[in-house]
Amino acid sequence: MKKVLILCTGNSCRSIIAEALVNAKLEGIEARSAGVRASGRVNPNARKVLEAHGIWEDRYHSKTLESVIDDDFDLVVTVCDHAKETCPIFPKPVPKMHVGFEDPDGKPYEAFEETYKQIETILLPKIEEVLKN
């Protein structure tokens, strides 16, 4: 099982959506997510879009980077520019990839649906390409 960490600033929208999508759609790859400045909450619209697609799980929650930094990952993916700029040095060398998405926080539900679709069509194939080779 390959492991990927999805890193964002607040770990409330994009990284949670990406974590759920990887876990639901990519066989042999397990995702976790965290925030460099975790908000401590999942955005209600992020949860709503995952529920609408049938992939919400109660284990998804906003986590600090410190809570996962010592875990072993095969890939670290940043999904926002701030996380990319502040991405820490991990205890062990880990390949990193950045694929940025616009933050849907504070926008209508449709923005979350669009973010879901973008992550599914843009990010998932890239993660699969890196980890399946």
Active site amino acids: 8, 80, 87
Nearest-10 crossing angle of helices 14-25, 124-132? 60
DSSP lists the bridge partners of residue 75 as: 4
Exposed e or buried b for every residue in 48-75, given b needs 16+ CB within 10 A? ebbeebebbeeebebbebeebeeeebbb
CA distance 71 to 58: 21
| Number of residues that make up the chain | 133
The position carrying tokens 């390409």 is 129
CA distance 31 to 76: 10
